[in-house]
C-alpha cells in the first residue's frame, strides 16, 4: 500500500476532486483517519493549543513537533503526512529551515512540511524544494504572526490586502510549493486564489471554492465545545459523550458495580486450592 503523493494531490485538483485534510496529533487518531480514507493529515502546530494547552502556537518547539509527527506517521499507511514547521524553525535563515525540514522527513518520517508566509518565505521554499523536500505553503491568517496581526482577524479584506495575498500565493507556486493553505479570508478571494494558481488551495475559513478544506479535528469532533470557530462545523459532540462515559464509570466504581466477574480473571481448581491453603496460613 503506497502513500498519497504530492502528484496525487495535484491530480485531484486537475480532476476537480475536492481534497479533505484533517489534523491529527497522535497514533490512535491517525490510524482512525487513515482507515477512514483521509488523503492528507496535517500535524499542525495547533497542537500547542488543542493538545498542550498553550494560548497560541508560538511556544511549540521542534521537539514537540517531531514527537507528534512521528506518532502520526506510525499510525498511518496510506495517508500523506504533513509536518507543520513551528515558530522560529525556519524564519532565521534558509539554512535553519533546510536543517529542520530535513529532520521532519528523515527522523519523523513525514512526507512534506508546511510553513507560513508568502513572498517573504519564497526563497526558503525554493531552497527546500531544490533539496527534495516537498513544501505546502500557508497564507492569509498565519497564526505564528498573530502578534503582528493584532489577533485572529480576517485577512485580505481591502483591495491592497487582497492583491498582496494573491501575490503571496503566486510567489509560493513559483517557488515550487505543491499546495497552499488559505486561512480566514473572504470567500471571493479564496475563489480567485484557487483559480489563479495551478496547485491545490486548501481552505480553512476561506469559503467553498478552494480545491480542498482542512479542519482541526478537535473542532469538528466537538472536543472543545467552549469555543467553536465560525469556519468550523461540528460533526460530533464527543466532549459530551466522553463526560457521560466518565461519570458512568465513576458511579459504577464508587458503588462497587465495576469490575464484575466478566471483567475479572479466574483460576482453575488447583489454583483455588493453593489459595485456600495460603489463606489458612495467614
Q: What is the pLDDT of residues 109-165, one digit of tens each?
A: 999 999 999 999 999 999 999 999 999 999 998 888 766 656 667 889 999 999 999
pLDDT at residue 51, as a whole number? 96
Of 1, 7, 12, give the one whose Cα is nearest residue 202: 12
**Same domain membership, residue 167 and residue 68:** yes
User: Per-residue pLDDT tens for 77-88?
Assistant: 999 999 999 999
pLDDT at residue 47, as a whole number? 97
**Same domain membership, residue 206 and residue 260:** no
**Same domain membership, residue 270 and residue 217:** no
The runs of H, that is alpha helices, within 107-208 are 122-130, 146-149, 159-175, 187-196
**Same domain membership, residue 145 and residue 38:** yes
Q: 236, 254, 271: which is the final residue of a domain?
A: 236
pLDDT at residue 211, as a whole number? 98
**Same domain membership, residue 25 and residue 126:** yes
pTM over 0.75: yes
Residues spanned by the domain of 274: 241-281
Mean pLDDT, the chain, whole residue set: 95
* Residue 1 in domain: no
Please name the residues in contact with 157: beta carbons below 8 A apart, sequence gap of 6 or more: 186
**Same domain membership, residue 253 and residue 172:** no
Per the structure, the count of domains in the chain is 2
Identify the band that residue 275 occupies on the pLDDT scale cut at 50, 70 and 90: confident
**Same domain membership, residue 224 and residue 165:** yes
**Same domain membership, residue 267 and residue 136:** no
**Same domain membership, residue 164 and residue 247:** no
Identify the band that residue 279 occupies on the pLDDT scale cut at 50, 70 and 90: confident
User: Per-residue pLDDT tens for 179-221?
Assistant: 999 999 999 999 999 999 999 999 999 999 999 999 999 999 9
108, pLDDT greater than 60: yes
**Same domain membership, residue 275 and residue 171:** no
Catalytic positions: 183
**Same domain membership, residue 139 and residue 204:** yes
Amino acid at each position: 500500500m503506497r502513500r498519497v503523493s504530492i502528484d496525487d494531490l495535484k491530480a485531484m485538483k486537475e480532476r476537480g476532486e475536492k481534497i479533505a485534510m484533517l489534523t491529527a496529533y497522535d497514533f490512535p487518531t491517525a490510524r482512525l483517519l487513515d482507515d477512514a480514507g483521509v488523503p492528507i493529515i496535517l500535524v499542525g502546530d495547533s497542537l500547542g493549543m488543542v493538545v498542550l494547552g498553550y494560548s497560541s502556537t508560538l511556544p511549540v518547539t521542534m521537539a514537540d513537533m517531531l514527537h507528534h509527527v512521528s506518532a502520526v506517521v506510525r499510525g498511518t499507511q496510506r495517508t500523506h503526512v504533513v509536518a507543520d514547521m513551528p515558530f522560529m524553525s525556519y524564519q532565521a535563515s534558509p539554512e535553519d529551515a533546510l536543517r529542520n525540514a530535513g529532520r521532519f522527513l528523515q527522523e519523523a518520517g513525514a512526507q512534506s512540511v508546511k510553513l507560513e508566509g508568502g513572498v517573504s518565505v519564497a526563497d526558503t521554499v525554493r531552497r527546500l524544494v531544490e533539496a527534495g523536500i516537498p513544501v505546502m505553503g500557508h497564507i492569509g491568517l498565519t497564526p505564528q504572526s498573530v502578534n503582528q496581526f493584532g489577533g485572529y482577524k480576517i485577512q485580505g479584506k481591502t483591495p491592497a490586502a487582497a492583491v498582496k495575498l494573491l501575490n503571496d500565493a503566486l510567489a509560493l507556486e513559483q517557488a515550487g510549493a505543491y499546495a497552499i493553505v488559505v486561512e480566514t479570508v473572504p470567500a471571493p478571494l479564496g475563489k480567485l486564489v484557487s483559480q489563479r494558481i495551478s496547485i491545490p488551495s486548501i481552505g480553512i475559513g476561506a469559503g467553498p471554492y478552494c480545491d480542498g478544506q482542512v479542519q482541526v479535528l478537535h473542532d469538528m469532533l466537538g472536543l472543545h465545545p467552549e469555543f467553536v470557530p465560525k469556519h468550523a462545523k461540528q460533526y460530533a459532540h464527543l466532549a459530551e459523550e466522553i463526560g457521560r462515559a466518565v461519570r458512568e464509570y465513576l458511579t459504577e466504581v464508587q458503588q462497587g458495580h465495576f469490575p464484575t466477574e466478566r471483567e475479572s480473571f479466574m483460576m482453575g481448581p488447583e489454583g483455588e486450592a493453593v489459595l485456600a491453603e495460603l489463606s489458612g496460613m495467614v
